[in-house]
Amino acid sequence: MADQVYWEDVDVGTEVTPLQKQPTTQQLVRWAGGSGDFYQIHYDKDFALGNQLPGVIVHGALKSAWLGQLLGDWVGEKGKIKTYGCSYRGMDVPGDTLTCKGTVTKKYEEGGEHLVDCDIWLENSKGEKTTPGTATLVLPSKG
Amino acid sequence: MAEDSVITDEMRAAIGVESEPSEYEIEKEAIRRWAEAIGDTNPLYRDEEYAKSKGYRSIIAPPGFIANYAYPTKVGEGGRRGFRSPFAMVLNGGNEYDFLKPIQAGDKITSTTKLAELREREGRLGKMLFMINETTYKNQDGEIVAKSRGTIISY
């Protein structure tokens, strides 16, 4: 795992360490099993094509889980994810390279906690932000 | 325009109605399988001894786990909303999570959900209905451990 990041080390504009994913159809099936989402647009190509989709598509909640992994990795064991969320604006397909990214937009103290707000997103290999969102994170302070 | 609305009185009446509680036991293997499925190697989600060394009772759930694993399903008959969307296609529009306490293997989580909002608008594919659900998750001690808000789009 990466070194622990501290609140004092970050500023507005600091980049969250990116996380890259290359989903396969097998991974979508594993996610279906792990999450209990068995909507056929995520594993049945004929069903997906019949519903005007380009083929099977990546589950929104899986993309959200990856953004959670991005944040969990970055805040480390001494930090905490307070809130995060994202919108599924564009479809992503298996076989593409997807990258989770983020930047710090605000740094502040509140209720005794050292916080940062971030813009987060997942982008496809064309650089299109298919899944934008925001997060509020607690980072440890060097005191 | 009102006369074109797909939102019926029956659907409007469902707003704010809290579901029956659903209960879930957070199992170690379910957490491991979930972490495995997303490709997250964090030992806090896999290695019990490691998680204990960090002060937890057992392995903990990764962010977002709870909303997928303990999604309530016990609202009424014929679907958890008590009504069916007038459209066939359904997409997940977005998710937001608030994490208040760590969720650990062995926890017994009770979740309730409610339809918080219904909206409609014309989109590229014609009329779209947005259903926003809010879910609250409590542990065996009655503490709220997480909240989630999800948008379902149907068209």
How much is the pLDDT for B20?
A: 85
Per the CB < 8 A criterion, the answer to whether B91 and A58 are in contact is: no
Asked if the Cβ–Cβ distance from B68 to A37 is below 8 Å, we say yes
User: Given a cut of 90, is residue A121 above it in pLDDT?
Assistant: yes
Q: What is the pLDDT of residue B1?
A: 46
Residue pLDDT, tens place only, A30-87:
999 888 888 899 999 999 999 889 999 999 999 999 999 999 999 999 999 999 999 9
Measured between beta carbons, the chain B residues lying within 8 angstroms of A80 are 99
The mean pLDDT values, 10 residues at a time, for chain B of 155 residues are 75 88 90 93 96 96 81 44 75 93 95 92 86 94 95 89
Show residues of chain B in contact with A81, CB under 8 Å.
63, 99
d(CA A140, CA A6) in angstroms, rounded, equals: 5
- Tokens representing A117 are 């707000």
The answer to whether residue B91 neighbours chain A at the CB level (below 8 Å) is yes
CATH code: domain B2-26+71-154 is 3.10.129
Question: pLDDT value at position B71?
Answer: 55
Give, as one character, the DSSP assignment of residue A95.
T
The answer to whether B94 and B131 are in contact (CB under 8 A) is: no
Helices assigned H by DSSP within chain A: 25-35, 45-50, 60-75
Q: Where are the beta strands (DSSP E) in chain B?
A: 22-25, 90-99, 108-123, 126-138, 144-154
Q: Write the CB contacts of B147 (distance below 8 Å, at least 6 apart in sequence).
A: B97, B98, B100, B134, B135, B136, B137
Does residue A24 have a pLDDT over 70?
Answer: yes
How many pairs of residues across A and B have Cβ atoms under 8 Å apart? 99
Chain centroid to CA B64: 9
Domain-wise residue ranges, chain A: 7-138
Number of H helices, E strands in chain B: 4, 5
Which has the closest alpha carbon to B34: B49, B47, B50, B46?
B46
CA–CA distance, A121 with A107 (Å, rounded to integer): 19
Domain ranges of chain B: 2-26+71-154
Residue A116: pLDDT over 80:
yes
Contact call for A66 and B38, based on CB within 8 A: yes
The three-state secondary structure class of A99 is: strand
* CATH class (in words) of the domain with range A7-138: alpha beta
- Supply the mean pLDDT for chain A: 95
Residue A16 to residue A26: CA distance in whole angstroms: 28
Q: What is the dihedral of CA A61, A64, A68, A70, to 10 degrees?
A: 130
Report CB contact under 8 Å: A83, B96: yes
pLDDT computed for residue B118 by the predictor: 94
CA B148 remoteness from chain centre: 6
pLDDT digits (tens, 9 = 90+) for B28-57: 999 999 999 999 999 999 999 999 999 999
Distance from CA of B23 to the nearest CA of A (A): 16
Nearest-CA neighbor of A122 among A19, A32, A15, A37? A19
Tell me which chain B residues have a C-beta less than 8 angstroms from the C-beta of A84: 63, 96-97
